[in-house]
Amino acid sequence: MRNNVNRRAVLQSGDATTHGLRDSSPIHILLVEDNQGDARLTLEVLKDFKVANTVSLAKDGVEALAYLHRQGDFADAPHPDLILLDLNLPRKDGHEVLAEIKEDPDLRRIPMVVLTTSQAEQDILNVYNLHANCYITKPGGLDQFMAVVKSIEDFWLTKVQLPKELKE
């Protein structure tokens, strides 16, 4: 299998505990990240979280969109409940991915968390104009990065009520 998405490194985590805002099925997260180090750290933090979740990894924007549209190798890919999106991606950048997702009636309701190194005001403005749900700048230190990922998990997986999948 040539793709890098859904290494179903789909990591399964949590102790089968799900948050009280959804049914008992695990939360599925699509992580769109080309930096191996950041992807590995994010996956490790998500793996240890108390909420049952699975994570699929897309290493660029083209793979992310193929995954979301269930094209080719991704025909059986699960519909994500949450997308963590880097902006600085090869082949198709995060702005383009975000715009395509938000234009698609079957995908636009998926919450989008932009997690990127960019602190550029124009990037922040563009992302919110494209209807991202939040913009988080990756901190430089390991402990701070892990704290950011844990705060994303805590908010998006335990506090927020996510929509159930509307379309198979």
> Does residue 28 fall inside a structural domain?
yes
Mean pLDDT of the chain: 81
User: Considering only 92-96, 102-106, 131-135, 159-163, which range has the smallest mean pLDDT?
Assistant: 159-163
> Does residue 6 fall inside a structural domain?
no
In angstroms, rounded to a whole number, what is the distance separating the alpha carbons of residues 113 and 86? 9
Comparing C-alpha atoms, which of 10, 35, 38 is closest to residue 146?
38
As a whole number, mean pLDDT of residues 22-39 equals 82
In angstroms, rounded to a whole number, what is the distance separating the alpha carbons of residues 23 and 107? 20
Residue 94, Cβ neighbours under 10 Å: how many? 28
* pTM of this structure: 0.81
Distance set, CA 106 to CA 40, 68, 118, 165 (Å)? 29, 10, 28, 9
As a whole number, mean pLDDT of residues 103-124 equals 93
The single-letter code of the amino acid at 64 is: A
pLDDT of residue 24: 53
> Does residue 166 fall inside a structural domain?
no
DSSP-assigned beta bridge partners for residue 63 = none
pLDDT of residue 8: 40
The position carrying tokens 């715009």 is 99
Top-confidence residue, 125 or 49:
125
Number of domains within the chain: 1
Domain that holds residue 77: 11-159
> Does residue 20 fall inside a structural domain?
yes
With a cut of 70, say whether residue 20 has pLDDT above it.
Answer: no
> Does residue 4 fall inside a structural domain?
no
| pLDDT category of residue 159 using cuts at 50, 70 and 90 | confident
CATH code at 48?
Answer: 3.40.50.2300
- % of the chain exceeding 90 in pLDDT: 48
Q: Residue 8: phi, psi to the nearest 5?
A: 0, 30
- % of the chain exceeding 70 in pLDDT: 80
Helix (H, G, I), strand (E, B) or coil at 111: coil
As a whole number, mean pLDDT of residues 89-106 equals 95
> Does residue 1 fall inside a structural domain?
no
> Does residue 121 fall inside a structural domain?
yes
The position carrying tokens 């998500």 is 46
Buried-exposed string 53-90: b where 16+ CB fall within 10 A, e elsewhere: bbbbbbbbbbbbbbbbeeeeebeebbbbbbbbbbbebe
> Does residue 165 fall inside a structural domain?
no
